[in-house]
Structure 1
């Protein structure tokens, strides 16, 4: 399932990670140019992987950073 999310993040050139929670939700971080982060948020909110069901997408703790804190985009377990 996360392969699609990883592919999308890499295609957009953003950095970050995603992880399934025990509650059946997904958490993660996305870093990069503002326009690319917004594209990724749109994809997460409205598209997602083919087998996903998106009921709601909530983005919190958004802030500007001067330097990337994460390299690459991947899945955490």
Structure 2
């Protein structure tokens, strides 16, 4: 199962990517996270539905100091990622 999630709000400069990576690995998810030029953070995750739903719930709050305003969630094609990476 694959989800692409765009997180908007105060989500850059607050360790959002590193915290997202840590949470994804805890949940056994694969994929990536990266900052976008428009100030959002884009996350692509793959895994089982309970883990994906847990990650979506976590992303609604984000790490301390983040202020999440919105999540845009799209179901995507599985890509068989092997790890969860922070992309530049």
TM-score (norm 2): 0.75
Q: Counterparts in 2 of 1:5-16, with a 5 A limit?
A: 5-16=20-31
- Which portions of structure 1, spanning 4 or more consecutive aligned residues, are displaced by more than 3 angstroms? none
Paired residue total: 73
Whole-angstrom CA distance in 2 between matches of 1:28 and 1:7: 13
Q: Counterparts in 2 of 1:9-24, with a 5 A limit?
A: 9-24=24-39
1:76 aligns with 2:87: yes
Whole-angstrom CA distance in 2 between matches of 1:53 and 1:5: 14
Which one has a larger percent strand, Structure 1 or Structure 2? 2
Match of 1:53 among 51, 60, 67: 67
User: Which consecutive unaligned segments of at least 5 residues does structure 2 have?
Assistant: 1-14
**1:28 is paired with a residue of what secondary structure?**
strand
TM-score (norm 1): 0.84
